Chain A
Amino acid sequence: MRKNTRIIVIGASTGGLEALRTVLSGLDRDLNGIFIICQHIERSARLNYKMIFPDVQDYSLTEVEDKQPIESGVVYFAPPGYHLYVERLGYFGLSLDAPVNWSRPSIDVLFESAAHVHGCQVVGILLTGANGDGAQGIREVKRLGGITIAQNPESAVADIMPRRAIETGCVDHVLDLKEIAPFLVRLLRKDHSSHKGAL
């Protein structure tokens, strides 16, 4: 992981897999970013990510195992039934601690740990969902200098999750679903050129 690598954490619940398909398939190849996704899902679910996201070919799709190293160019998914954490030492952690907001994995848990470890490198994105998980996480990402995005509730299958996030007053950008990937591409490309400029 390079020093200026952005850590993009994405939370989604009801309608999330469909929304994620739109976001992930819009990513250019070779972006200097790490994508970490917390999708609420039934705990015994066993997912085939390649089949769910057939259009995503430039990034490998991985369900996280405990202590797995965090690497650029990979899209990571929280395993069903476990909380997912970003640890300081460049790897992931998991836990079976009690559900947070009736959810495990919980978006708050992922976002807070990413913000604690990576501060202003974090981009927190909340998509569609019928539950308030993630709002506290957005607050923490913002407090520690990261960028926060909520899907425009009007474009969401379930609008509670993005609305709760926007209500915190900590969301920087409210974007239609289709605008999210282009926004990320611009942001990561800009990082890249300003980083080169610095050299």
Chain B
Amino acid sequence: MTPLVPDDIEFELLLEAIWQKHGYDFRQYARSSLRRRMEAFLQKYNLASFSHLQYRILRDPSFFGRSLDEITVRTTEMFRDSFFFTALRNEVLPILQTYPALNIWHAGCSTGEEVYSVAILLMEAGLYERSTIYATDINPVVLEAAQEGRYPVAKIKEMTKAYQQSGGVLPFSNYYTCKDDVAKLNPEIKKNVVFSTHNLATDESFIDAQLVICRNVLIYFDRNLQDRAVALMTRSLSHRGFLCLGSKESASFLKAKVNLEVFAKDAKIYRKL
């Protein structure tokens, strides 16, 4: 490994400044991807170095609020990885059928596409009426968008295809109405979803859930923070509850795995021991 160069040191100081000034802890994020996003940022605002960005973040009151949205990643889709949703539909929901009430925590929900995908599965399984989905994200801007549940019509075609690939058999048009170039999800899909900010790096458990979904969020964390987040989510599960991670994420490199067993290997669904 090469020694740290000034850029590396400035980058670490920038993360420290964000933490001390704004209370967002990116010091435990995976460095390489975070740094690439921050570098894009330097270009966009025409800043010469991370030290210049640090100055701006410390001194310009509204700058950080606007930039948080770009530092965090908002990629999300409906029914991403059809095999995951197939496993959720066919293997997990039948077990959850036996519970009189269901709490579901969707951590790192971004603009909500995956939350509503899960809501649709629950509706089709006849479970939604007894379910509450707590959807959280670190970024309040994306939560506003998620709450709206409005997506560009241009996305509908791929959403429909992903829905069908995951085993959905109803007309997907049952779930939205189009006006101009916006597809608005029907209110019944949204009615049992509660949105709130929550930071996996600093906040605590707030729920006793039967199902926790946190997909493609941990990839942005370093191993220590992954361990904290997985331990926190496992604590938030009731006895024999389910934890769903992204399909290229794994609990097997973490200490927190001791409280989990593999339930569906490829779909990365774990179960609390």
A residues in contact (CB < 8 Å) with B: 64-69, 79, 82-83, 85-89, 91, 93-98, 109, 112-113, 116-120, 144
A117 to B248, CA, bound (A): 22
* Apart from A66-B249, A117-B2: 4 A-B pairs, beta carbons within 8 A: A65-B250, A65-B253, A94-B33, A109-B36
B73:A96 contact, CB within 8 angstroms: yes
Q: Can you name 30 A-B pairs with beta carbons within 8 Å?
A: A64-B248, A65-B248, A65-B250, A65-B253, A66-B218, A67-B226, A69-B253, A82-B219, A82-B248, A83-B33, A85-B30, A87-B30, A87-B31, A87-B222, A88-B31, A91-B253, A93-B30, A93-B32, A93-B33, A94-B33, A94-B219, A94-B248, A95-B73, A96-B73, A96-B216, A97-B37, A97-B75, A116-B32, A116-B35, A120-B2
Tell me whether A117 and B30 are in contact in the complex, defined as CB-CB below 8 angstroms, given that A68-B253, A94-B248, A96-B216 are known contacts: no
CB < 8 Å neighbour of B32 from A82, A87, A120: A87
**Chain B: interface size category:** 20 to 34
Chain B residue at smallest Cβ distance from A122 = B2
Find B222's partner among A82, A89, A94 (CB 8 Å cutoff): A89
Q: Which residue of B lies closest to A109 (CB)?
A: B36
CB distance from B268 to the nearest CB of A (A): 9
Complex Cα–Cα for A87 and B1 (A): 10
- Given A96-B219, A97-B33, A65 and B249 touching (CB < 8 A)? yes
Instruction: Known contacts A66-B219, A68-B253; decide if A85 and B1 are in contact (CB<8 Å).
Output: no
Contacts of A67 in B (CB 8 A): 223, 226, 250, 253-254
B2 touches A95 (CB 8 A): no
Please encode chain B, from 25 to 42, with 1 for each CB lying within 8 Å of some chain A CB and 0 for all others: 000001111011100000
* A93 in contact with B2 given A66-B249, A67-B253 (CB within 8 Å): no
Of B32, B33, B249, the most chain A CB neighbours within 10 A belong to: B32
Q: Contacts of A112 on B, CB cut-off 8 Å?
A: 36
Q: Does B176 contact A (CB under 8 A)?
A: no
- In the assembled complex, the Cα of A151 lies from the Cα of B35 at a distance in Å of 30
Report the bound CA distance from A62 to B250 in whole Å. Answer: 14
Indicate the member of B219, B222, B250 with the most A CB atoms within 10 Å: B219
Supposing A65-B249, A96-B75 touch, asked if A85 and B218 sit within 8 A by C-beta, the answer is: no
Contact with A along B245-273 (1 / 0, CB 8 A): 01011100110000000000000000000
Q: Mark B154-173, 1 if CB is under 8 A from A, else 0.
A: 00000000000000000000
Residues of B within 8 A of A83 (CB): 33
Q: Which chain A residues lie closer than 8 Å to B226 at the CB level?
A: 67
B195 at the interface (CB under 8 A from A): no
Q: Would you list which residues of chain B between 203 and 241 have a CB under 8 Å from chain A? A: 216, 218-220, 222-223, 226
Smallest CB-CB separation from B245: which chain A residue? A66
A85's partner among B33, B73, B246, B248 (CB-CB below 8 A) is: B33
Distance A109 CA – B250 CA, assembled complex (angstroms): 22
Give Cα distance in the complex from A64 to B253, angstroms.
12
Query: Smallest distance from the beta carbon of B14 to chain A beta carbons, Å?
Result: 16
CB contact between B2 and one of A64, A96, A97, A144 (< 8 Å): that residue: A144
Given contacts A66-B249, A66-B250, A86-B32, are A91 and B73 in contact (CB under 8 A)?
A: no
Contact of A97 (CB < 8 Å), options: B36, B248, B253 = B36
**A83 CA to B220 CA, complexed, in Å:** 12
User: Once bound together, how far apart are the Cα atoms of A183 and B224, in whole Å?
Assistant: 39
Determine the distance from Cα of A113 to Cα of B250 in the docked complex, in whole angstroms: 22
The 6 closest A-B pairs by CB, nearest first: A85-B32, A119-B2, A95-B33, A96-B75, A93-B30, A113-B32
A86 CB contacts on chain B under 8 angstroms: 32
